[in-house]
């Protein structure tokens, strides 16, 4: 079975709990309904959060090609920036910076979200402007503030490298390389970047000893105070757009406007895709402007501006302890060895000389 089918099935299943019909909701949060888990295996607890399914890789050659492209800095004008520069798989698929550094040290406008489990998102980017991973993957290559290349240059570059020509033709059955094939391969690799078997998932599957009392109390508080209205499903987020600052306005330090940039509707101003809380311990700093440096700070802000609730120090500690149980098994990556450039390969231009 292809991993997409498997995961799609899984997400549909989590929607039973998650008050988000068909993965698509814009706007108002409602409390999750906990229904009868029709497709769940009996051993999974009936909760608004469901476990992450492991990746099922059917097309190994495609995934390997996508991995090379993900790690290849030659897809940038400088020859120095790869997808992994800003979505570092040694650091939870993020760069741990407030906002990313792009071509010629450009300061990005927004915090880099993790690529881990991004296949579960209803759409990609904070404002959801890309429909899926394949559509997303073309963006950074030609973004002047990120990799500063063009799709044509990327294709020319790869076609000048015999190792890539052979590999593309083995995977796709045709010689010609195009941006569609490039983004298809990158997306196939990203589909494998899932993190199953977190301690919380083990608990969901029935292992009482997977969480200690503080962590379990933290989860109960997370649920009873309403965090699960927005952070639910297998990603604990990623399945709806919600207002940042529902009960109290949020003073962002970034100029971005959120979902309204895509829909043109004023009502969507400052709505953002709810970020996944999977591996959140690894993906600091937090929020689209990267202003919350610690989990304690993010939890304090969320409680106050989304729910009108001030947590005691102990309650905050419990929720943070729970959030840290969401760190799953990280994808094991053998660093790919990239095919060397040929004499014809355009040379990098790191300083714009
Ligand atoms: C210079 C840093 C930088 C580089 C290089 C970069 N990204 Fe990103 N990426 C970002 C930032 C910042 C965002 C969020 C932008 C936004 O939402 O407006 C993002 C968003 C994403 C998302 C959406 C995740 C989500 O939850 O919405 C995915 C997936 C992604 N990038 C994959 C890639 C891939 C694949 C590449 C290589 C082709 C790449 N990125 C290159 C910084 C970078
Ligand atoms: C009304 C929906 C909603 C509720 C309720 C809510 N959140 Fe959020 N959460 C969001 C949105 C939207 C963001 C992203 C906002 C932004 O960055 O501008 C977010 C971001 C976060 C982040 C930062 C993640 C990251 O990677 O940047 C954490 C941590 C978090 N929420 C935890 C919580 C906790 C804990 C609660 C309960 C106290 C909670 N949230 C309640 C919608 C919600």
Kindly identify the ligand whose nearest atom is closest to the C-alpha of 268: 2
The answer to whether residue 1 scores a pLDDT higher than 70 is: no
User: Which residues, judged by CB distance below 6 Å to any ligand atom, belong to the binding site of ligand 2?
Assistant: 29, 222, 225-227, 229-231, 242, 244, 246, 272, 274-275, 277, 280, 283, 286-288, 298-299, 302-303, 306-307, 319
Mean pLDDT value of segment 110-129: 97
User: For 181-184, which contacts have Cβ atoms below 8 Å and span 24 or more sequence positions?
Assistant: 182/69, 182/137, 182/138, 182/154, 182/155, 182/158, 183/134, 183/135, 183/137, 183/138, 184/62, 184/66, 184/134
The answer to whether residue 29 scores a pLDDT higher than 50 is: no
Q: Which is it for strands 241-243 and 271-273: parallel, antiparallel or unpaired?
A: antiparallel
Q: Is 193 in the pocket of ligand 1 (CB under 6 A)?
A: no
Over residues 274-285, the pLDDT tens digits come to 999 999 999 999
The answer to whether residue 42 scores a pLDDT higher than 50 is: yes
CB atoms under 10 Å from CB of 31, counted, come to 11
How many whole angstroms from 335 Cα to the centroid of ligand 2? Answer: 33
**What pLDDT is stored for residue 31 in this prediction?**
40
Task: Point out the ligand 2 atom lying closest to the alpha carbon of residue 114.
Answer: 26
- For the chain, what are the domain ranges? 15-49+201-326, 60-191
Rounded Cα gap, residues 75 and 81, in angstroms = 8
The answer to whether residue 186 scores a pLDDT higher than 50 is: yes
The answer to whether residue 211 scores a pLDDT higher than 80 is: yes
Q: Give residues with Cβ within 8 angstroms of 95, minimum separation 6.
A: 85, 86, 87, 88, 101, 112
The DSSP secondary structure of 110-170, one letter per residue, reads SPPPP-TTGGGSSSBSTT--BSSHHHHHHHHHH-TTTT---HHHHHHHHHT-HHHHHHHHH
Q: Give residues with Cβ within 8 angstroms of 4, minimum separation 6.
A: 119, 191
Active-site residue 146, yes or no? yes
Q: Is 141 in the pocket of ligand 1 (CB under 6 A)?
A: yes
| Least confident among 29-38, 79-88, 90-99, 263-272 | 29-38
Rounded Cα gap, residues 55 and 191, in angstroms = 7
CB atoms under 10 Å from CB of 336, counted, come to 16
The answer to whether residue 30 scores a pLDDT higher than 50 is: no
Mean pLDDT value of segment 250-262: 92
Rounded Cα gap, residues 257 and 306, in angstroms = 18
The DSSP secondary structure of 81-123, one letter per residue, reads --HHHHSBTTTTTB--SSS-B-GGGPBPSSPPPP-TTGGGSSS
Residue 43's pLDDT band, with cuts at 50, 70 and 90, is: confident
DSSP state letter for 286: B
Over residues 305-341, the pLDDT tens digits come to 999 999 999 999 999 999 999 999 999 999 999 999 9
What share of the chain in percent tops pLDDT 70? 88
Rounded Cα gap, residues 86 and 110, in angstroms = 12
The answer to whether residue 9 scores a pLDDT higher than 70 is: no
85 or 33: which leads in pLDDT: 85
Q: Give residues with Cβ within 8 angstroms of 341, minimum separation 6.
A: 74, 160, 161
Residue whose CA lies nearest to ligand 1 atom number 35: 137
The answer to whether residue 3 scores a pLDDT higher than 60 is: no
**What pLDDT is stored for residue 353 in this prediction?**
73
Burial class (CB in 10 A: 0-12, 13-18, 19+), 146: buried
1 or 87: which leads in pLDDT: 87
Residue 213's pLDDT band, with cuts at 50, 70 and 90, is: very high
Which CATH architecture describes the domain 15-49+201-326? Orthogonal Bundle (1.10)
DSSP state letter for 268: G
How many whole angstroms from 90 Cα to the centroid of ligand 2? Answer: 24
From the options 3.20.20.10, 1.10.760.10, 1.10.1510.10, 1.10.1040.10, give the CATH code of 60-191: 1.10.760.10
The answer to whether residue 26 scores a pLDDT higher than 80 is: no
| Buried-state track 339-350, b at ≥16 Cβ within 10 A, e below 16 | bebeeebeeeee
């Amino acid at each position: 079975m292809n991993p997409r089918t498997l995961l799609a099935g899984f997400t549909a299943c989590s929607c039973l709990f998650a008050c988000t019909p068909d993965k698509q909701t814009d706007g108002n949060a409602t409390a999750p309904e906990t229904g009868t888990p029709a497709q769940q295996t009996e051993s999974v607890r009936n909760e608004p959060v469901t476990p992450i399914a492991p990746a099922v890789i059917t097309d190994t050659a495609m995934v390997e090609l996508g991995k090379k492209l993900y790690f290849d800095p030659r897809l940038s004008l400088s020859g120095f920036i790869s997808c992994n520069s800003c979505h570092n798989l040694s650091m939870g698929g993020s760069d741990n910076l407030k906002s990313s550094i792009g071509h010629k040290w450009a300061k990005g406008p927004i915090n880099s979200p993790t690529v881990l489990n991004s296949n579960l998102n209803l759409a990609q980017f904070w404002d959801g402007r890309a429909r899926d991973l394949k559509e997303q993957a073309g963006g950074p290559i030609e973004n002047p503030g990120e990799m500063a290349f063009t799709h044509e240059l990327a294709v020319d570059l790869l076609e000048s490298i015999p190792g890539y020509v052979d590999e593309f033709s083995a995977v796709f059955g045709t010689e010609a390389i195009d941006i569609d094939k490039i983004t298809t391969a990158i997306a196939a690799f990203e589909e494998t970047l899932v993190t199953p078997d977190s301690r919380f998932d083990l608990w969901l599957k029935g292992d009482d000893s997977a969480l200690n009392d503080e962590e379990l109390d933290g989860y109960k508080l997370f649920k009873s105070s309403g965090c699960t209205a927005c952070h639910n499903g297998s990603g604990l987020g990623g399945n709806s757009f919600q207002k940042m600052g529902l009960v109290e306005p949020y003073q962002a330090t970034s100029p971005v406007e959120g979902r309204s940039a895509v829909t043109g509707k004023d009502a969507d101003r400052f709505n953002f895709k709810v970020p996944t809380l999977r591996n959140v311990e690894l993906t600091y700093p937090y929020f689209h402007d990267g202003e919350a440096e610690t989990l304690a700070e993010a939890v304090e802000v969320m409680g106050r501006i989304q729910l009108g609730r001030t947590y005691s120090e102990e309650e905050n500690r419990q929720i943070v302890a729970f959030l840290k149980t969401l760190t799953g098994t990280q994808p094991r990556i053998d660093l790919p060895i990239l095919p060397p450039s040929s004499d014809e390969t355009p040379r990098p231009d790191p300083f714009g000389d």
